[in-house]
Amino acid sequence: MDLDFSPVWAGWPDLLRGAAVTVEITAAALVLGCVMGLLVGIGRLNPKNRIIYGICTAYVAVIRGTPLLVQLFILFFGLPQFGIMLPAFACGVLGLGIYSGAYVSEVVRGAIQSIDRGQMEAARSIGMSSGQAMASVILPQAVVRMIPPLGNEFIALIKNSALVSLLTIHDVMHQGQKIISVSYRSLEVYLAIALIYFVLTGVTTLALRHFEKRMRAGGMVQ
């Protein structure tokens, strides 16, 4: 079978616009996921506060134990049954952000627990509160250790964003499916979509490596 990429070239502007939407929704979900992951990760560090610990633990268990696609459908198709109508883009950001937050929280928790306990004790001994010690002493060190695993999570988030096309969001996957519907050249279009995702994840990987090297050069990574 001969390959015909002419529909891809003709629809390239649409694919690029879809790629821009993919970047937008991934960036917004990334911010939400990091905020939620930080809060939940810290919340799971104190089992003595049973309510917060229980809520955070249940959140991680439920989100990590159910498919992302099902969570997106619950937001998009389920919430309207309760009178909550959210735009497709908002559902995509919320779904990806909430899903990512569960995994980021484990990265945060692991990084904080990897810091020597003596750091907290030393900070408390000079008059800092637990919150001050966490914000000024523990977190700055933990953030450096979070970079590699968070990088993997960011890349996974870019690839997982392909699912939002099922919510009628005009991302790169949705644009590609529109081209297929009129050209019937599915293989060629999906190869082009794969190339776009490969470029997006590749650029992200290079940016993260550059950032980590700069931190190593500055002596911030041990």
Question: What is the per-residue pLDDT for 218?
Answer: 59
pLDDT tens for each residue of 178-192: 999 998 889 999 999
The encoded tokens of residue 49 equal 């506060």
Long-range contacts of 74-80 (CB under 8 A, 24+ apart): 76/167
pTM over 0.75: yes
Positions of the chain with pLDDT lower than 50, given as ranges: 221-222
Residue percentage of the chain with pLDDT more than 70: 96
Residue percentage of the chain with pLDDT more than 90: 61
pLDDT tens for each residue of 107-134: 988 888 888 878 777 877 887 877 778 7
Find the farthest-apart pair of alpha carbons in the chain and give their distance in angstroms, rounded: 74
Domains observed in the chain: 6-217 (1.10.3720.10)
Helices (H) and strands (E) in the chain, counts: 10, 0
Question: What is the per-residue pLDDT for 167?
Answer: 92
Question: What is the per-residue pLDDT for 222?
Answer: 47
